[in-house]
Chain A
Amino acid sequence: MNTAAKMPTPPADNVINKDTQLDKTYKYGFSSDIEMDYAPKGLNEDIVRLISEKKGEPEWMLEWRLNAFRIWQNMVEPNWAKLGYPPIDYNDIYYYAAPKSQKEKPKSLDEVDPELLAVYEKLGIPLKEQEVLAGVEGTSNVAIDAVFDSVSVATTFKDKLAEMGVIFCPISEAIRDYPELVKKYLGTVVPQGDNFFAALNCAVFTDGSFVYIPKGVRCPMELSTYFRINARDTGQFERTLIIADDDSYVSYLEGCTAPQRDENQLHAAVVELVAMKNAEIKYSTVQNWYPGDENGKGGIYNFVTKRGTCKGERSKISWTQVETGSAVTWKYPSCILEGDYSVGEFYSVAVTNNCQQADTGTKMIHKGKNTSSTIISKGISAGRSNNTYRGLVHIFPEAENARNYTECDSLLMGNKCGAHTVPYIRAHNNTANLEHEATTSKISDEQLFYCRQRGLSEEDSVSLIVNGFAKDVMQQLPMEFAVEAQKLLGISLEGSVG
């Protein structure tokens, strides 16, 4: 089929239907009745200028965006991934949508639209610091930046973190308040022209988080961003930049959901991490964008560029991802290991069900001496879905004694789905020590019966077996996320047996 993805016009009053529960299986699939402020559809220099203006950005930022836009215009969408989707009409998308009440950024939660707060409450995201501090059930010790469509609505625990010199704020705020830091690092890990989607993001990104951990500070709590696409026909282009200075540590969590809609929506994020000498960044994602219905209608197109540079000696970057959502996932969180003895890790669980397609993996670029990397990828495919691991281990000539361990396991459910493993190795130094293991297995009827005989429902049995399969990755997740992620694995596979 060669028809453009349908992106119809929003309701005239710019108000989205309240709580339309289309499909029970995606529990985050409600949309909320919030008055929105849209920029006109389509993409041109004026839209880029408008976004920059709405964000109150300085001139240098606008120039940076315009430069990226010009680069993007001369690029073509990549098609090497094992993904099939109708062409995206980049002029039929809203690049900016903000809740009206957010025009003047609220100074405290009391000023945030209660409807908006209600959305987060429904999602189980604790935005109220006092609740968190009071230990209200279901809340935990996590500082959160919540991004709703194009803007950040609340960042909790900011003051407490500031006492330690930690900066955790929306990136739009960082551009205004910490321009030197942003200028120094933005686009250094993922250059503007890195790839089609990254260039697009550079031109039109609307919000995201900024983190700076000063020298010698161990960030005392998990930092978390929660992304939600609510408005219809809207692309979400978030941008995250995390810098861990010498001898510092931070653990960062990212979660995302979207309402259920019949149309496809575009999401193209860029995340850049910089770890200086002896610093460690742990970045965990639970990606649960709306996957589309069982016939492949609707769902998010997720084209993400995530990359980290281990700049300093003995620095470490660890990516953990649990990918259960999106109709299409194109995502390769990578590490550039520049510092000697630096360490890169990639732990991934990718679940595809029904008509979902995922092409995901990592690149480990070894430049420094004695660098080491670990890749553990667990792909679970069900329904008619396709799940591809694509990875590159690249050893530069100067990278003496580099080590990599790669393990790619696939679990298949039924016989209509596909699992593919595409590992690339470029070793230009013969002191490298590379190990690769791969397995493919199926959930057997015997395993299912064994569990059911003990009293577990069929779905709980699948969930148990799948969680066991993914355990090596799941146990890398911070506690706050692990339980939710475990449930999510089960939910994503509902209806995949029997």
Chain B
Amino acid sequence: MTELLNIENLHARVEEKEILKGLSLKVNAGEVHAIMGPNGSGKSTLASVLAGKPGYEITEGSVNFQGEDLLEFEAEERAQKGIFLGFQYPVEIPGVNSMYFLRTALNAQRKARGEEELDGIDFMDFIQDKLELLDMNTEFLKRPVNVGFSGGEKKRHETLQMCALNPTLALLDETDSGLDIDALQIVSRGVNAMRGEGKAIVLITHYQRLLDYIEPDFVHVLKDGQIIKSGDKTLATELEKEGYSGLTNETTAA
């Protein structure tokens, strides 16, 4: 098993407040990990820190991605190295249509990798099967990024971007929240299409039902800034029944 991501004893603060308090997690190539946990426990913070969002102070610990110190790199460099974050709350970019946005992003990444950039026509060819996979049409691409999108459309749009950018490590922050059953299936189809050798997916979710569609290899519970419990997919079913309140930090208690 090749190791893709190794987080060790990560401590992170934002605005003087410690949010991640010694978090450790290993992700190998080919794996799907689900992270669950109560509101405010630090799940989105973990995703932001991994993606390089400015404003977080790392006070302790390390993050290794494909043999490199990930924390050394700027957000765009991490993206270019194959880290994708599906946002819990995607932001609006008025006046910039989705097609232009996606093509600019794709070309920025291709350029960084020394690949040829795609012109408008090539891009349309390129994006066609991804749109089909997600039951979307080209009309959608003409709309300004996230402006006036419904909750479900935003999530579908995040999934489309993931499929287009084809990341090595996808971090999906509640991409399933607010989706109806059909949309959930469609988004899951997109995520499953991403599974593959050499790649990994980390799903942040509150709902066990997502895991009926995307079967995880591991389920972790994140509480108060640490991973306090890990198991296989049966852990999710257990959590659904019992909730988080009974759980204490077994890893540090041990």
Binding site for B on A (CB under 8 A): 444-447, 449-458, 460, 464-465, 467-472
Nearest Cβ distance between residue B237 and chain A, in whole angstroms? 32
In the assembled complex, the Cα of A472 lies from the Cα of B74 at a distance in Å of: 32
- B residues 42-72 in Cβ contact with A at 8 Å: 51-55
Binding site for A on B (CB under 8 A): 51-55, 74-76, 79-80, 84-85, 87, 90-96, 101, 104-106, 108-109, 112, 144, 161, 165
B91-A446 in contact (CB<8A): yes
A467-B91 in contact (CB<8A): no
In the assembled complex, the Cα of A455 lies from the Cα of B85 at a distance in Å of: 11
Q: Which residue of A457, A471, A472 contacts B108 across the interface (Cβ within 8 Å)? A: A457
Specify the main secondary structure of chain A where it touches its partner.
helix
Chain A residues with Cβ below 8 Å from B85 are 453
In the assembled complex, the Cα of A259 lies from the Cα of B241 at a distance in Å of: 72
B108-A455 in contact (CB<8A): yes
Chain B residues with Cβ below 8 Å from A445 are 54-55
Q: A445-B54, A449-B53 are in contact. Are A455 and B165 (CB under 8 A)?
A: yes
Chain A residues with Cβ below 8 Å from B90 are 450
B87-A455 in contact (CB<8A): no
A467-B79 in contact (CB<8A): no
A455-B79 in contact (CB<8A): yes
Q: A449-B53, A449-B54, A449-B75 are in contact. Are A456 and B104 (CB under 8 A)?
A: yes
Number of A-B contacts (CB under 8 A): 76
Q: Which residue of A449, A458, A464 contacts B101 across the interface (Cβ within 8 Å)? A: A464
Give 19 A-B pairs besides A453-B79, A458-B76 with Cβ atoms closer than 8 angstroms.
A445-B54, A446-B91, A447-B93, A449-B54, A450-B87, A450-B90, A450-B93, A452-B52, A453-B51, A453-B75, A455-B80, A455-B105, A455-B106, A464-B93, A468-B94, A468-B95, A468-B96, A469-B95, A471-B96
In the assembled complex, the Cα of A457 lies from the Cα of B104 at a distance in Å of: 11
In the assembled complex, the Cα of A455 lies from the Cα of B168 at a distance in Å of: 14
Q: Which 6 residue pairs across A and B have the least CB separation, nearest first?
A: A468-B95, A454-B105, A468-B96, A471-B95, A455-B79, A452-B75
In the assembled complex, the Cα of A483 lies from the Cα of B212 at a distance in Å of: 48
Chain B residues with Cβ below 8 Å from A447 are 91-93
Chain B residues with Cβ below 8 Å from A471 are 95-96
Chain B residues with Cβ below 8 Å from A460 are 104, 108
Nearest Cβ distance between residue A417 and chain B, in whole angstroms? 20
Query: Could you list 12 examples of A-B contacts with CB < 8 Å?
Result: A446-B91, A447-B92, A449-B54, A449-B75, A452-B74, A452-B79, A453-B75, A453-B84, A458-B74, A458-B76, A465-B93, A467-B96
A454-B79 in contact (CB<8A): yes
Nearest Cβ distance between residue B194 and chain A, in whole angstroms? 16
Chain B residues with Cβ below 8 Å from A451 are 93, 105
A456-B54 in contact (CB<8A): no
Q: A445-B55, A449-B53, A468-B144 are in contact. Are A454 and B108 (CB under 8 A)?
A: yes
A450-B96 in contact (CB<8A): no
In the assembled complex, the Cα of A455 lies from the Cα of B74 at a distance in Å of: 10
Chain A residues with Cβ below 8 Å from B144 are 468
Q: Which residue of B76, B84, B92 contacts A457 across the interface (Cβ within 8 Å)? A: B76
In the assembled complex, the Cα of A449 lies from the Cα of B47 at a distance in Å of: 13
Nearest Cβ distance between residue A145 and chain B, in whole angstroms? 33
In the assembled complex, the Cα of A454 lies from the Cα of B82 at a distance in Å of: 10
Nearest Cβ distance between residue B15 and chain A, in whole angstroms? 13
Chain B residues with Cβ below 8 Å from A452 are 52, 74-76, 79
Chain B residues with Cβ below 8 Å from A450 are 87, 90-91, 93
In the assembled complex, the Cα of A445 lies from the Cα of B144 at a distance in Å of: 19
In the assembled complex, the Cα of A471 lies from the Cα of B142 at a distance in Å of: 14
Chain B residues with Cβ below 8 Å from A454 are 79, 101, 105, 108-109, 161, 165
Chain A residues with Cβ below 8 Å from B79 are 452-455
B108-A464 in contact (CB<8A): no
Q: Which residue of B lies closest to A449 (CB)?
A: B53
In the assembled complex, the Cα of A452 lies from the Cα of B101 at a distance in Å of: 11
Q: Which residue of B lies closest to A464 (CB)?
A: B96
Q: Which residue of B lies closest to A447 (CB)?
A: B91
Nearest Cβ distance between residue B34 and chain A, in whole angstroms? 21
Chain A residues with Cβ below 8 Å from B109 are 454-455
Q: Which residue of A lies closest to B106 (CB)?
A: A455
In the assembled complex, the Cα of A457 lies from the Cα of B108 at a distance in Å of: 8
Q: Which residue of A lies closest to B171 (CB)?
A: A453
Chain B residues with Cβ below 8 Å from A455 are 76, 79-80, 105-106, 108-109, 112, 165
